[in-house]
Amino acid sequence: MSDVTRILAQIRDGDASASEQLLHEVYAELRRMASHKLARERAGQTLQATALVHEAYLRLIGAESPQWNGRAHFFAAAAEAMRRILVESARRKHRLKHGGGQRRVDLDSECLVGEAPSVDILALDMALDKLAASDPQKAEVVKLRFFAGLSMPQVAEALGISLATAERHWTFARSWLYAELADKQ
pLDDT digits (tens, 9 = 90+) for 106-125: 434 444 444 444 567 788 88
This prediction has a pTM of: 0.53
Residue 64 confidence (pLDDT) above 80: no
- DSSP annotation of 111 reads G
- Decide: 158 and 150 in contact? Cβ < 8 Å: yes
Domains in the chain with CATH codes? 1-101 (1.10.1740), 119-185 (1.10.10.10)
- Number of Cβ within a 10 Å radius of residue 64: 5
Mean pLDDT of the chain: 79
- Decide: 163 and 152 in contact? Cβ < 8 Å: yes
In the chain, pLDDT over 90 holds for what percent of residues? Answer: 16
Q: Choose among 173, 172, 165, 168: nearest CA to 147.
A: 173
103 pLDDT band, cuts 50/70/90, is: low
Task: Calculate mean pLDDT across residues 63-80.
Answer: 80
Check residue 104 and give its pLDDT: 52
- DSSP annotation of 115 reads P
Check residue 185 and give its pLDDT: 60
| Best mean pLDDT range from 95-99, 144-148, 154-158, 166-170 | 166-170
DSSP string across 7-66: HHHHHHTT-TTHHHHHHHHHHHHHHHHHHHHHHTSPTT----HHHHHHHHHHHHHTSSS-
Q: Whole-angstrom distance between the N-terminal and C-terminal Cα of the chain?
A: 47
27 to each of 20, 86, 159, 176, how far by Cα in Å?
A: 10, 19, 22, 33
96 pLDDT band, cuts 50/70/90, is: low
Residue 75 confidence (pLDDT) above 80: yes
Check residue 109 and give its pLDDT: 41
Q: Choose among 14, 26, 25, 3: nearest CA to 81.
A: 26
- Decide: 61 and 21 in contact? Cβ < 8 Å: no
* pLDDT, tens only, 26-57: 888 888 888 887 777 665 566 788 888 888 88
